[in-house]
């Protein structure tokens, strides 16, 4: 198991609701054609699921309209297949076509860049964790904090 997989597992332990949405999003991506149909699936792709907002990249205004009209169907699929009964909002973004899949708009891609997290920064955060946390929780929280700090640093350098 690589480092990224360990962090994902640790975050899933700490944030079970987020983990559930991550799992649902992964399944939606795999089965997108069976959710919206073959034609719309070739022109759209779900790429994020935050709180109750499902983000879907589309490659045309026509596909955006088609997907918008399918909100009820998508909600039923979430309820029936994944036992997710919360009211969802579809956040549809214009994206580029790449390798036959719609990609999120540029502003969303930038937030998904690879971020290098240094071990020394993680260790600093581990030392700051309360003693009441388990070692796994300290490890996960430290990686998350180091990641967020590194991401903020990367964004500030990108904007400069």
And the tokens for 98?
A: 């790449």
Average pLDDT over residues 8-36: 79
Domain 15-104, architecture per CATH:
2-Layer Sandwich (3.30)
For residue 87, the SS3 value is coil
Q: Residue 98: what pLDDT?
A: 39
Average model confidence (pLDDT) across the chain: 79
Kindly indicate the confidence band of residue 145, based on its pLDDT and cuts at 50, 70 and 90: confident
Q: What is the dihedral of CA 112, 140, 91, 56, to 10 degrees?
A: 60
**Per-residue pLDDT tens over the stretch 103-142:** 544 444 444 556 777 888 888 888 888 888 888 888 888 8
For residue 22, the SS3 value is helix
Query: How many angstroms separate the Cα of 137 from the Cα of each of 2, 11, 21, 119?
Result: 18, 9, 20, 16
Average pLDDT over residues 80-102: 75
And the tokens for 17?
A: 């609701």
| CA 69 from centre of chain | 23
């Amino acid at each position: 198991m690589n480092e990224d997989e360990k962090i994902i597992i640790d975050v899933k332990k700490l944030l079970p609701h987020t983990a559930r949405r991550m799992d649902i999003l992964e399944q939606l991506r795999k089965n997108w054609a069976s959710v919206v149909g073959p034609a719309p699936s070739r022109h759209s792709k779900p790429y994020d699921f935050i709180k109750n907002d499902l983000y879907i990249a589309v490659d045309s205004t026509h596909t955006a309209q088609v997907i918008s009209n399918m909100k009820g169907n998508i909600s039923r699929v979430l309820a029936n297949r994944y036992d997710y009964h919360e009211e969802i909002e579809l956040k549809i973004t214009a994206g580029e076509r790449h390798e036959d899949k719609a990609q999120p708009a540029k502003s969303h891609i930038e937030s998904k860049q690879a971020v290098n997290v240094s071990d020394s920064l993680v260790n600093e955060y581990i030392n700051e964790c309360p003693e009441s946390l388990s070692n796994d929780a300290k490890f996960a929280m430290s990686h998350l904090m180091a990641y967020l700090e590194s991401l903020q640093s990367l964004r500030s350098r990108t904007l400069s």
